[in-house]
A and B are shown apart, each in its own frame.
Chain A
Amino acid sequence: MLDLNTKKIKKNAYRITKVRGETASRIRVPGGLLTAELLPLIQNIAQTYGNGKIHLTTRQGFEIPGIKYGDIDTVNALLQPIIEKLEINQEIPGKGYTSAGTRNVSACIGSNVCPFATYNTTNFAKRMEKEIFPNDLHFKVAFTGCANDCIKTRMHDFGIIGMTEPQYEKERCMGCQACVKACKKKSVDALSVENYRIVRNTEKCVGCGECVINCPTRAWTRSPETYYRLVIMGRTGKRNPRLAEDFLVWATEDAIIKIVKNTYSFVTNYIDRDAPGGKEHIGYIIDRTGFEEFKKWAMDGVELDSRTIVKNPVYWSGIHYV
Chain B
Amino acid sequence: MGYQTTAAKMNTIFADLSKDYLIYAPKRYVGDGTFVHIDTIRYGEITDLSEIEFAEKSNYSFKEVLLPISETLFYFTENEMKEADAPKKGAIVFLRSCDLHGLKRMDTIYLENGAVDTYYKRLRDNTKFILMGCESSFENCFCVSMGTQTSDDYDAYLKVTGETVLVDSHWDALDAALAGATPASVIPDSVTANETVVTIPETVPQTLFDDPFWEDYGNRCIACGRCNFVCPTCTCFTMQDIFYTDNGKAGERRRVWASCHIDGYTDMAGGHAFRNDKGQRMRFKVLHKVNDYKRRFGTHMCIGCGRCDDVCPEYISFANCINKLNTLVNDTAKEEN
Contacts and interface: CB of A to CB of B under 8 A. Distances in A.
A212 B34 contact: yes
A37 interface: no
A175 B229 CA distance: 13
A64 B225 CA distance: 51
Given A164-B36, A218-B42, A176 B31 contact: no
B337 interface: no
Given A195-B242, A216-B229, A218-B42, A178 B36 contact: no
A3 interface: no
Given A171-B70, A194-B245, A216-B225, A222 B240 contact: no
B40 A218 contact: yes
Interface stretch (A111-119, A130-138, A152-160, A260-268): A111-119
B37 A111 contact: yes
A172 B224 contact: no
Contacts of B37: 111, 120
A171 B68 contact: yes
Contact of B224 (A174, A194, A216, A224): A216
Interface string B53-86: 0000000100000001110000000000000000
B70 A174 contact: yes
A53 B326 CA distance: 56
A195 B32 contact: no
A119 B229 contact: no
B31 A175 contact: no
B257 interface: yes
B259 A221 contact: no
B258 interface: yes
B253 to A, nearest CB: 11
A217 B36 contact: no
A213 B254 CA distance: 25
B31 A217 contact: no
Given A178-B224, A194-B245, A216-B229, A221 B31 contact: yes
B262 interface: yes
Contact of A175 (B32, B42, B240, B243): B240
A196 B242 contact: yes
Interface in B223-240: 224-226, 229, 238, 240
A170 interface: yes
A175 B256 contact: yes
Contact of A196 (B32, B36, B240, B259): B240
B29 interface: yes
A218 B311 CA distance: 12
Contacts of B238: 174
Given A173-B70, A174-B69, A218-B29, A195 B245 contact: yes
Contacts of A219: 69
Given A175-B240, A175-B256, A217 B245 contact: no
Interface string A201-229: 00000000100111111110110100000
Contacts of A173: 69-70, 256
A173 B238 CA distance: 13
B70 A222 contact: no
Contacts of A164: 36
Contacts of B257: 174, 217
Nearest to A195: B242
B32 A217 contact: no
Contacts of B258: 174
A119 B60 CA distance: 25
Contact of A119 (B36, B70, B254, B262): B36
A171 B36 CA distance: 22
Q: How large is the interface on B (under 10, 10 to 19, 20 to 34, 35 or more residues)?
A: 20 to 34
Contacts of A222: 31-32, 36
A176 B223 CA distance: 10
A175 B68 CA distance: 14
Contacts of B69: 171-174, 217, 219
Contacts of A170: 70
A176 B262 CA distance: 7
A176 B261 CA distance: 11
Interface centre among B33, B36, B229 (most CB of A within 10 A): B36
A172 B70 contact: yes
A173 B229 CA distance: 11
A250 to B, nearest CB: 17
Given A174-B70, A176-B262, A221 B245 contact: no
B224 A214 contact: yes
B315 to A, nearest CB: 14
A170 B243 CA distance: 17
Contacts of A196: 240, 242, 254, 256
Contacts of A175: 240, 256
B266 to A, nearest CB: 15
Most chain B CB neighbours (cut-off 10 Å) among A111, A118, A170, A176: A176
A174 B245 contact: no
Contacts of B60: 217-218
Contacts of A213: 34-35
Contacts of B259: 176, 216
A58 to B, nearest CB: 27
Interface in A252-280: none
Contacts of B32: 218, 221-222
Nearest to A146: B36
7 nearest A-B pairs in the assembled complex, by CB-CB distance: A174-B256, A221-B32, A196-B240, A174-B257, A216-B226, A195-B242, A111-B36
25 contacts: A111-B36, A111-B37, A115-B34, A115-B35, A117-B35, A117-B36, A118-B36, A120-B37, A164-B36, A171-B70, A172-B70, A173-B69, A174-B256, A174-B258, A194-B245, A195-B240, A195-B242, A196-B242, A196-B254, A215-B34, A216-B224, A218-B29, A218-B32, A221-B32, A222-B36
